[in-house]
Amino acid sequence: MKASNRKITGASKRVSAKPESRLAMVRRARKINRELAEVFPYAHPELDFRNPFELLVATVLSAQTTDLRVNQTTPGLFAKYPTPEDLAAAVPEEVEELIRPTGFFRAKTKSIMGLAAALRDDFGGEVPGRLEDLVKLPGVGRKTAFVVLGNAFGVPGITVDTHFMRLVRRWKWTEQEDPVRIEAEIAEIFPKSEWTMLSHRVIFHGRRICHARKPACGACPIAHLCPSYGEGETDPEKARKLLKYEMGGFPGQRLDPPPGYPGRPAPPLGASG
């Protein structure tokens, strides 16, 4: 892609003996966000969903597994239990079998059936659009709540998942390790209107380029802004081989991606390719 082919010459010269001021860090952070918007103009939630209930359940199921595996699993689940009332009245063992591919299926069954019952009993079968209500639901924390608020209700929020935490620390936007404190510090750097899309862009970059074990530094379009350049592979050719999903020519996480996504849809469960 055009934006991902930017030159990164001189990237290793960025580190200065002079500490970066707060103002300089904020300016650099906002520039990273602007450049990521050019690299990933199609950034979006990578869970398939058609309504707030499906997004809420899918997000709970995504814990400790991939969005791809969730997307391959939820069509069968929602075909059988399309509403909170249906899921709340289900036989637990049948739900467990349907969501088994996502792992931790017994605990997740308890959570999604519990939140479905709470939606039925306390919210008229509708997913609430307030943070304070969402976090009261079984299995729903701030991260899940902000995914739902930002993508189903248009309420700005910062989603602090493992990718987000890793990258904002690599970029020296924060030194915090607690997700709530990270959320608070990043919220001070960016206007509220940017929070949801910032989350998508950072997570996209973390999944595709700035990996946990071996970042593709040599193929990174924002290497010139990264104080951690060199932690990963710096050779451009070797780095390009590390790129994932559409950046590497492979299917993305969604079976039903939104319009404008440049990659290939993921295959259904059990399909090859």
Report the distance separating Cα 179 and Cα 187, nearest Å: 12
Question: In angstroms, rounded to a whole number, what is the distance separating the alpha carbons of residues 180 and 184?
Answer: 6
Distance CA 48, CA 70 (A): 8
The closest of 258, 255, 243 to 207, measured between CA atoms, is 243
DSSP string, 57-88: HHHHHTTTS-HHHHHHHHHHHHHH--SHHHHH
Q: How far is CA 71 from CA 91, 178, 185, 259, in A?
A: 22, 28, 32, 17
Query: Residue 114: phi, psi to the nearest 5?
Result: -70, -40
Give CA separation, 183 vs 131, 175, 176, 207, 209, in Å: 14, 12, 9, 19, 22
Alpha-carbon span 110 to 127, nearest angstrom: 18
| DSSP states of 100-144 | GGGS-HHHHHHHHHHHHHHHHHHSTTS---SHHHHTTSTT--HHH
- Residues annotated catalytic, as ranges: 143, 161
Give the number of other CB atoms < 10 A from CB of residue 260.
8
